[in-house]
Amino acid sequence: MRAFVVFILLISTGGKCQVLERLLFADTSEIVRKVLADTATYRLQIILTEVEEKNSFFSPYHPKLVTSTFRNKPAEYFFPASLVKLPVAAFALEKINDLRVYGISKTSPFVPLSDFQCQGNAKATPLSVKDLVYKVFVYSDNQAFNYLYELCGQQYIQDRLQEMGYSKARIVEKIARCDGTGNRITGPIAFYNPEQHLIHIEGRQAAPMAAPLAVNAKVGKGYLWNGKYIASPKDFSNSNFIPLQDLHQILLSLVLPKEVEKNKQFHLSEDQRDELLEAMRTLPSQYFTDSTQKVPYKDNYAKYIMGSADTIPKDWRIYNKVGLAHGFISDCMYLEDDRQKLRFFLSAVLYVNQDGVLNDGKYEYTTVGLPFLRRLGQIVYAHTLSKKNGR
């Protein structure tokens, strides 16, 4: 039966079996077999870009990027959750560049003057973009994201996504209990100097009402709302959405900006880009350095694909962002292994909600989602290492 499935796969791809397809169908692990048996239900999508070194007399360093996909479906909805923090962190640094005329930098503390988290009793304290970016990547802090969203404003985020060619992408929600108005209207923002003196107030921003998503964004058979069961799919038509291929491209453009088109490059200086990448790869044990306190997160806390152990190998640098909500589990990552001299980008998402009910807290993150992503990482790493060694 397994041979028959592979045969059909070869026919459907015109006899050219992509790398990911070959690797996955050759794997005998129970978790991979389980997911491959029903990829549509799991809404599985995977994108791999291998970075091959190509040296020449005229160009000492020029990487060759080889991309393979598995069920790449840009129009198939998945809830991105914290993945939206990746582009917004970069946009916030761009926004700071626009405010330099007022003496504002990435280390300037700022505070939203509105109820930016839509909770009424949330007290905001001045924080800098630099601090917020680290919080977003090291332990995926939601409040930090809401600060950055408030700073950018919904319209700025949407305009930049469109300018970069991500026509299907939409980030129109904070990670808070905000309605459409609370997400559309942001600011004002107060900026301070290191002595805590006010230096600038950035005005209120209001974006027009966003049109519903053009893709089918209904998920599940039912959902819980205020403790009541609603017997119909949950509609994400007015929620955040970024196709996996766009997120993969966004990460690639941050790591290797010279390898993408000009419009897909962020408006960041080399120093800003380096610091963003530094934040992305920083582990909790490196961030929480106060020896009097126990590190509240393990190093693999926000490393799904390459985080099968509690500690990350010292030779690895992992630049990534993960997402986890409504049964969707995802990771968009880039690995550099200094010892083995190998590099690759790997992005994946799957939906693990066996009962089909959303908001009931019953998702198979630990029994299906994480085990699959971690096995995927092992498979791709072994492939890349074998290829580099000529085996």
3-state secondary structure of 187: coil
Burial per residue of 204-227, b for 16 or more beta-carbon CB atoms within 10 angstroms, e otherwise:
ebebeebeebebebebbebbeeee
Other CB atoms within a 10 A radius of the CB of residue 307 amount to 24
Half-sphere exposure of 369 (CA within 13 A, CB side): 25
Token pair belonging to 117: 């988290």
Q: How do strand 222-225 and strand 228-230 relate by DSSP bridges? A: antiparallel
Q: What is the pTM of this model?
A: 0.93
Q: What is the pLDDT of residue 57?
A: 58
What is the spatial distance between Cα 322 and Cα 27, in angstroms, rounded to a whole number? 24
Residues 6+ apart with CB under 8 A from 53: 61, 63, 64
Cβ pair 97, 47 in contact under 8 A: no
The DSSP letter of residue 200 is E
Residue where the block lists tokens 């408030």: 150
What is the spatial distance between Cα 134 and Cα 282, in angstroms, rounded to a whole number? 8
What is the spatial distance between Cα 247 and Cα 81, in angstroms, rounded to a whole number? 12
Provide the strand spans (E) within the chain: 45-54, 62-70, 110-112, 185-186, 189-192, 198-202, 205-206, 218-219, 222-225, 228-230, 234-235, 316-325, 328-337, 342-351, 357-358
Residues 6+ apart with CB under 8 A from 16: none
Q: What is the pLDDT of residue 124?
A: 82
Q: Which domains does the chain have, with CATH numbers?
A: 75-290 (3.40.710)
Residues 6+ apart with CB under 8 A from 293: none
Residue where the block lists tokens 């914290």: 82
Residue where the block lists tokens 């152990």: 309
Cβ pair 276, 269 in contact under 8 A: no
Other CB atoms within a 10 A radius of the CB of residue 124 amount to 18
Token pair belonging to 97: 């560049």
3-state secondary structure of 241: strand
What is the spatial distance between Cα 20 and Cα 149, in angstroms, rounded to a whole number? 35
User: Per-residue pLDDT tens for 267-300?
Assistant: 999 999 999 999 999 999 999 987 677 889 999 9
CA neighbor of 155 nearest in space, from 176, 133, 174, 172? 172
Please list the ranges in the chain whose pLDDT falls under 70. Answer: 1-17, 54-61, 119-122, 291, 391
What is the spatial distance between Cα 297 and Cα 307, in angstroms, rounded to a whole number? 13
Q: What is the pLDDT of residue 295?
A: 84
What is the spatial distance between Cα 98 and Cα 93, in angstroms, rounded to a whole number? 9
Residues 6+ apart with CB under 8 A from 11: none
